[in-house]
Structures are given as C-alpha cells and as structure tokens.
Amino acid sequence: MPAAPSPAVVLRTHRPGDLGWIVSRHGALYSAEYGWDQRFEGMVAGIVARFVERFDPAREVCLIAERDGAPVGASVVVRASRHVAKLRLVIVEPSARGAGIGRTLVRACIAFAREAGYRKMVLWTNDVLLAARAIYLDEGFVLVRREPHESFGASLVGEYWEKAL
C-alpha cells in the first residue's frame, strides 16, 4: 500500500501571532538542537521588533509556511539598503524538514527581492547550520566572509553570504 501523500504546504504573509511564533520557535529549537542560550532568542526578538517598527510591505516580507493550518516554517526579507535585501530568520519545524520547505521559503524570498527591485541579497548564518548552508549554496549564494565569535553560550563561526539578483 503506498504511503499517503504529505499535506500541502502553503506560503502566506504574516498575520498577528506569527512573529511571536517565530521568536519562540527560534529560541526553543536552537536551544534544543545547538545548546544556544536565551541571548539568541533575545537577538531574534530584536530582529522581529525592528521588522515591525520599520515594515515597508513594498520592500519587505515575512513568509509563513503553513501545513494543515499550522505554521511549519518562516523566512523574512528586510531592506539592508536601497539595492540590497537581507534574508533573515529562516526556520523549519523538525517535523517538516526534508520536504523542501526551507528551499521553497528561500526561493520565495529571492523572488520577492527581485520583484521589489533589489540587486543583491545578503544573509548571515553560522557554520553549524549545515542544512541551511546547503540551501544557500544551491540557490547561488556565495560565502564572502567568515568570523569566529562567542555568542549564545557557544563558540561559533559566523558566515556572511551574498547573491546577485
């Protein structure tokens, strides 16, 4: 007997409650998976707060991946400068990983940035985030700089990536 198809994932823009979910899930997942402390969740909360305070729907977007009415992933595009978009806060629930949701979110953000008139997209991540890094590489991002840092109770290597649009 064939396996039942997985429920469809729908992308939509954020609505009330979604931004709090993004902060909460980043804090919980990165603590469980990498041992990062509450300072990481605080950083995410700051990013979300700035997104809300400066939100320009023509140039910025928060996408929520939803399955069966529940969020299973998210990504955000913010304005870094007139010609540069920044990809932020990409996350996929563990139960939804392996289904291409992360890649779908990243591709949708790239498409949004192009349509909004940006010429380049940049992002910052850490080298331990192997699945995310693989998506960025596959989608044409180029690693431009690495910096060791002590953050969130861990020794990490931050990475700066960019992609011409």
Which sequence spans correspond to the domains of the chain? 9-118
As a whole number of angstroms, the longest Cα–Cα distance in the chain is 54
Q: Is the pLDDT of residue 3 over 90?
A: no
Share of the chain above pLDDT 70, in %: 96
Q: What is the pTM of this model?
A: 0.94
6 pLDDT tier (thresholds 50, 70, 90): low
**What local confidence, expressed as pLDDT, does residue 84 receive?**
98
The strand pair at 70-79 and 84-92 is best described as antiparallel
What are the backbone angles phi and psi of residue 39, rounded to the nearest 5°?
-65, -30
In CATH, 9-118 is 1.10.10.60 = no
Radius of gyration, CA atoms only, the chain: 16
Q: Is the pLDDT of residue 1 over 50?
A: no
What are the backbone angles phi and psi of residue 122, rounded to the nearest 5°?
-125, 160
> How many Cα atoms occupy the beta-carbon half-sphere of 47 within 13 Å?
25
